[in-house]
Chains A and B, each alone.
Chain A
Amino acid sequence: MLKIDKISKFFFDEGNSIFFNSKKVEAVKNVSIEINTGDTLGIIGESGSGKSTLAKIIAGIHNPSKGDIIFKGKSLLNLSQRQRNNLIQYVFQDPSNSLNPRKTMMQSLLVPTTYLLGLTKDKAYARIKDILKSVSLPLETLNKYPHELSGGQAQRIAIARSLLSKSPIIVLDEPVSALDVIIQEQILLLLKNLKKEFNLSYIFISHDLAVVENFCNKIAVMFHGEFVEIGNTKKIINEPTHEYTKLLINSVP
């Protein structure tokens, strides 16, 4: 369904831009992978390995320096921002930062229904109510501000926001690493249920192999900007071939 085709991303170190001797940093190097309908692809790697940059490129937040992203045979790079956002949504790591501190949840959730779906207020409200039920939050939550919510509740709202637009693919960028383990388990369970309910595909970025193992059916191991190993979960964990993957598995406490 989604094909990531030889994506690379360079950044230019703007340190001394006045003298034009900026350094080229390669965050993502020639990365390719395919995601089928119903897949949950886990991308695992250490901090600085480029997994978050890749996630943002897939979600259309950054543009790749090279390569293409192809959805059902069509290149996403030629689509408008809104068309892309209708196909791929994104959930941030820290839910409290991804919600505007001066907006109620209702105001935040109305954004995708208005701009991506073009719904009128009545219809938007009905849709928000439905989704809120799916993420198991009470209706009163809509009148609250981000600081009035717990981390788990805020992440549920962020997930609800990504569901509103009916995108078939959701990029989850470390969605549970800021949460306590008990909440983490609840959110992962919720994500599994939503996947079935809405027939979603996930791209799940994480540094936690144990979480990836029980959440994803496919794993890509990222190291220094490259995929060093791709395969289904069982195979990667039981028969790792790359040295870094082995080290990673050994290090899990």
Chain B
Amino acid sequence: MNVLFSKIIKNKLALLGGIILFILLLLIITTPFLNLSDPNAINTSDRFSLPFTSNYLLGADHLGRDILSRVMWGTRLSLAVGFSAALIAAILGSFIGIIAGYFGGFFDNILMRSVDVLMAFPYVLLALAIVAVMGPGLFNSLIAVAIVNIPFFARNVRGISLAYAKSDFMIAAKISGRSTFSCIIFELLPNLIPTIIVAFSTTIGWMILETAGLSFLGLGSQPPQADLGSMLGEGRASLIVHSHNSLIPGLMILFIVMGFNLFGDGIRDALDPKLSQGKLGRSKALTDLKKNFVFSERCSKSFLEVNDLTTKFIRNNYEIEAIKKVNLSLQKGECLAIVGESGSGKSVTALSITRLVASPPGIITEGFINYKGTDLLNINLQTMQDIRGKKISYIFQDPQSTLHPLQKVGSQISEIVINHKIINKVKLNKEVLELLRNVKIKDPERVVNLYPHQLSGGMRQRIGIAMAIANKPDIIIADEPTTALDVTVQAKILSIINDLKRELNLSIIFISHDLNVVSKISDNIAVMFNGEIVEFGKTKKILNNPNNQYTKKLIKSSPKLSLVKKKYNA
């Protein structure tokens, strides 16, 4: 709660809105005690008195009634009506949304189609129709505005309930003995409250405006009762000559709606987890380097060498060292495995090599990455883009999320090829087919015309590998390439990677949490723990004779098939 409050305070516009609302609240609370004159007392001799005249601080209207008093009482009424309408809409709308989202199927269809029917009419027209049927009056206009706004809440809440209804924790609560009703009230509702509050605070201003609109048209409050809308309506007749009659209630409406909207947006920004991480924005194409970064003056002729690489994540108030002084080296045709638990910095290391760590919040503070005599930290974007994909390419864990869902896989592979060289169409197609054959796809002519969702996980990962080798790179960085796959498929993918490595003389950086997988494929292993490389050496040596405590623990914990004595001919 305190965090929420401080976030709203920090947002200057929201603070302004909050102050306006606070003043308004103070005004409507104190109105009965202010000794104002009767808002409905007619005094025709004082018609259209100007503001700041003897008895009338804000002047008098066409019947000589005190505008100050009418505005104060009118604000009270307008706020009360708008607030009640919003509350009714929120409760009914959320109720509909929860029922539709939680139970789904039949209920969902019936309820949401009815809501769609409501939404098919323009807001104000629908409200007018409802008031026309029910007859004019403040209470009826309140109901009309509430009904019109139900769809907004219903749709918002339904979407989220739908997602939560099937979530593990709801099922877990159910098998812990909760009834459906108790599940909805005690498990689901607490998770919906933020959404409902956000929807409420962003619409209440609009709803006050709508009730004022109905009153303006004479369908809301009935004379002599004053609310802001009806005052505006009555003042309209004398708008040109006695403008203060309509200007004052108009300004009041402006303040109210502005106050609510600014404050409401502030609440939304504070409650929305996507915005809570700070500014929305794209990350840069190159990971930032620290200010006054000291480039290494070393000159190395080795193939790939990483020296003292340090990457931090910096947010407003804290920083984390994701990797600390990482040292690695990789020779041509060699496979280096980086092993460690989740959060140990394996992926950050891999991404830092071609400066792909998202910036902000990532920042490289120290280090030297030598690739065939150039420092990869000391080149411009253009050069780096030539290296990425052409010299150093990546295979990711889940090809489902790295492949474009709406493009055929063939065209996605060709795109990578043409990005780095000029080639005619016939040759290009031939090359794409050849690439697919390289990753042991038996019928490439059929596969090029498929979309990613038509392929199995193993096939998708083969496409991912084909894309990685498309430009005959020197180095492939494979980030947990088999983790999402079944063991039988994993075995095939590993053998494909192994074959390619031999045929193309590839260097591979293979990131994994699984020592057993790594032992099949790597020449060297680097064990990472807490952002540091705690042990680095030949695979055999590390597995059979580890020095580091953590490495020993890791080896001991890795499950191994012990009973099996022979390989089977399957």
The residues of A with any CB-CB pair to B shorter than 8 Å are: 46-47, 59-61, 81-82, 85, 89-90, 92, 94, 97-103, 111-112, 114-116, 158, 161, 165, 180-185, 207-211, 213-214, 233-234, 237-238, 240, 243, 246-253
Contact = CB atoms under 8 A, between A and B. Distances in A.
B554 A182 contact: yes
Given A237-B561, A253-B487, A246 B569 contact: yes
Nearest first, the 8 closest Cβ-Cβ pairs linking A and B are A115-B177, A180-B341, A210-B559, A246-B568, A246-B570, A251-B491, A46-B486, A116-B177
A240 B558 CA distance: 24
19 contacts: A47-B457, A47-B486, A59-B175, A82-B177, A97-B167, A97-B169, A99-B172, A101-B169, A115-B179, A181-B515, A181-B558, A185-B556, A213-B561, A213-B563, A240-B568, A247-B570, A252-B516, A252-B564, A253-B519
Interface string B126-156: 0000000000000000000000000000000
Nearest to A161: B176
Contacts of A158: 172
B554 A181 contact: yes
Contact of B191 (A101, A115, A161, A208): A101
Contacts of B486: 46-47, 207
Interface in B324-341: 341
Given A85-B177, A207-B486, A238-B564, A214 B191 contact: no
B175 A100 contact: no
Interface in B513-570: 513-517, 519-520, 553-554, 556-565, 567-570
Secondary structure dominating the interface of B: helix
Nearest to B188: A100
B297 interface: no
Contact of B557 (A165, A181, A208): A181
B561 A252 contact: yes
A243 to B, nearest CB: 6
Contact of A251 (B173, B187, B457, B490): B490
Given A208-B559, A246-B569, A253-B519, A61 B564 contact: no
A60 B494 CA distance: 39
Contacts of B514: 181, 253
Contacts of B558: 181
Given A46-B486, A207-B487, A253-B516, A165 B568 contact: no
Contacts of B391: none
Contacts, number: 142
Contacts of A181: 341, 513-515, 554, 557-559
Given A61-B175, A115-B177, A238-B565, A94 B488 contact: no
A211 B559 contact: yes
B568 A89 contact: no
Nearest to A100: B169
B498 to A, nearest CB: 12
Interface residues of B, number: 49
B174 interface: yes
Given A115-B177, A182-B553, A249 B564 contact: yes
Given A100-B173, A209-B561, A111 B178 contact: yes
Contact of B168 (A60, A92, A210, A252): A92
B153 to A, nearest CB: 20
A180 B563 contact: no
B281 interface: no
Interface string B288-324: 0000000000000000000000000000000000000
Given A180-B342, A237-B563, A240-B568, A250 B491 contact: yes
B122 interface: no
Nearest to B487: A251
B343 to A, nearest CB: 9
B57 interface: no
B101 to A, nearest CB: 16
Given A98-B169, A103-B190, 14 more contacts: A47-B486, A81-B174, A92-B171, A100-B169, A111-B178, A115-B176, A158-B172, A208-B487, A211-B559, A214-B562, A238-B564, A249-B564, A251-B487, A253-B519
Contacts of A90: 172, 175
B569 to A, nearest CB: 7
A250 B342 contact: no
A100 B187 contact: yes
A114 B517 CA distance: 46
Contacts of B182: 115
A98 B341 contact: no
Contact of A102 (B191, B490, B515, B564): B191
Nearest to A89: B175
Given A181-B558, A182-B553, A182-B557, A238 B563 contact: yes
